[in-house]
């Protein structure tokens, strides 16, 4: 495009924003609005925050961030910045130091100790300055490639749908607490995804999961958040509750449930087994889909699994 045409186009845009094109310094969100008013809605860059190490014993995302920092891949549409979520926990190989960083944001967040201070630092650096967040995690449970949605913003749902179209093996989960109710890192921006990949043991670098996570991140950094995506036809799981271990006795996850994430579980199906090989069945009023089954991080909370229902599209 001729430089003069570029200047004329931008000047016309700036008129609707009450300022000359070469001096306008409004936030990125306002600039995008101006482009939209002018009919220029294609390939507008956003600012994306990539967070790894929110849990210090999940290094896969940190490896992806190292690559992004060192190599700066060419051809990416969006501006991005990488943030190490929990530096001290990463150094010590722990999930957290004092409290879970990924429960420390928004109005329902628990801000205590080291993670409380770290969440405040991240809020200063990210909140109001980025349009989208990618928070990179791993699971010990058999989650495969999973996207967790913690808000119902259009960009969040569109991004998840686009990634599933690109990588059909991806599962999409919409959480129970969305938007302001959610205490996760994604609370710091209006849109974003929590990427969960597994199974992998804590503090282990799995090359297949590193490559898959990098593919997901790169795909979002290249994508223009446009396209003909019919959200009413996007298969996903909606979390409806959590299931806990029995309060009494020494029970374990039944072998038929172990590694059976996203496989339908019916009332009466085996869930627990003990050393005498006695079995307890699933006590619930309907069939569900389990995930985060026997997740190591949740055992302290006595949680066996998260329960979800399958939906064929977003409302």
- 221 and 280 both lie in a single domain: no
- 304 and 162 both lie in a single domain: no
Band (265; pLDDT cuts 50, 70, 90) = very high
- 174 and 278 both lie in a single domain: no
pLDDT of residue 74: 85
- 110 and 204 both lie in a single domain: yes
DSSP string, 120-134: HHHHHHHTTT-SEEE
Band (17; pLDDT cuts 50, 70, 90) = very low
Residue 303 lies in a domain: yes
278-308 pLDDT tens trace: 999 999 999 999 999 999 999 999 999 999 9
- 187 and 100 both lie in a single domain: yes
- 195 and 257 both lie in a single domain: no
pLDDT of residue 88: 99
44-97 pLDDT tens trace: 899 999 999 999 999 999 999 999 999 988 889 999 999 999 999 999 999 999
Instruction: State how far the alpha carbon of 69 is from the alpha carbons of 55, 57, 65, 196, 265, in Å.
Output: 20, 20, 6, 21, 43
- 118 and 69 both lie in a single domain: yes
Q: Where in the sequence is the domain holding 32, given as residue range(s)?
A: 3-37
pLDDT of residue 186: 95
Q: Which residue's structure tokens are 């650096």?
A: 125
Residue 37: which residues within 8 A CB-CB, separation 6 or more? Answer: 13, 16
CATH number at residue 138: 3.40.630.10
Question: Does residue 20 carry a pLDDT above 50?
Answer: no
Residue 30 lies in a domain: yes
Band (42; pLDDT cuts 50, 70, 90) = low
- 83 and 144 both lie in a single domain: yes
pLDDT of residue 44: 86
Quote the number of domains for the chain: 3
DSSP string, the chain: --HHHHHHHHHHHHHTTTS-TTT----HHHHHHHHHHTT--SS---EEEEEE-SSTT--HHHHHHHHHHHH--TT--SEEEEEES-HHHHHHT-S-SSS-GGG-SSTT----HHHHHHHHHHHHHHTTT-SEEEEEEE-SSS-EEEEEE-S--HHHHHHHHHHHHHSTT-EEEE-SS-GGG--SGGGGSSEEEEEEEE---TT---HHHHHHHHHHHHHHHH--S-S---GGG--EEEEEEEEE--SSS--EE-TTTTT-TTS-B-TTSEEEE-TT--EEE--SSS-BEEESTT-GGGGGGTEEEEEEEEESS--
């Amino acid at each position: 495009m001729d430089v003069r045409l570029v200047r004329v186009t931008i000047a016309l845009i700036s008129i609707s924003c009450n300022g000359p094109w070469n001096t306008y310094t409004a936030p990125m969100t306002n600039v995008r609005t101006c482009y939209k008013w002018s009919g220029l809605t294609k390939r507008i860059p956003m600012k994306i925050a990539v967070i790894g190490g929110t849990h210090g014993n999940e290094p896969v995302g940190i490896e992806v961030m190292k690559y992004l920092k060192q190599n700066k891949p060419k051809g990416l549409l969006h501006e991005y910045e990488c943030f190490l979520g929990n530096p001290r926990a990463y150094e010590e190989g722990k999930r957290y130091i004092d409290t879970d960083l990924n429960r420390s944001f928004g109005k329902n967040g628990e801000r205590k100790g080291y993670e409380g201070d770290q969440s405040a630092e991240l809020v200063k650096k990210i909140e109001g300055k980025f349009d989208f967040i990618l928070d990179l995690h791993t699971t010990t449970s058999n989650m495969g490639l999973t996207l967790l949605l913690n808000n119902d913003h259009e960009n969040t749902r569109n991004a998840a749908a686009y990634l599933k179209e690109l990588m059909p093996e991806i599962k999409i989960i919409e959480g129970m607490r969305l938007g302001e109710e959610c205490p996760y890192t994604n609370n710091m921006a209006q849109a974003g995804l929590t990427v969960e990949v597994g199974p992998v043991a804590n503090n282990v670098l799995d090359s297949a999961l590193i490559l898959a996570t990098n593919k997901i991140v790169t795909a979002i950094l290249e994508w223009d958040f446009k396209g003909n995506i019919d959200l009413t036809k996007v298969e996903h799981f909606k979390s409806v509750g959590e299931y806990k271990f029995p309060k009494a006795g020494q029970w374990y996850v039944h072998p038929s449930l172990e590694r059976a994430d996203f496989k339908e579980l019916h009332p009466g199906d085996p869930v627990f087994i003990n050393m005498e090989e006695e079995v307890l069945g699933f006590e619930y009023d309907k069939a569900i889909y389990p995930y985060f089954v026997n997740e190591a991080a949740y055992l302290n909370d006595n949680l066996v699994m998260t329960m979800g229902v399958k939906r064929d599209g977003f409302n």
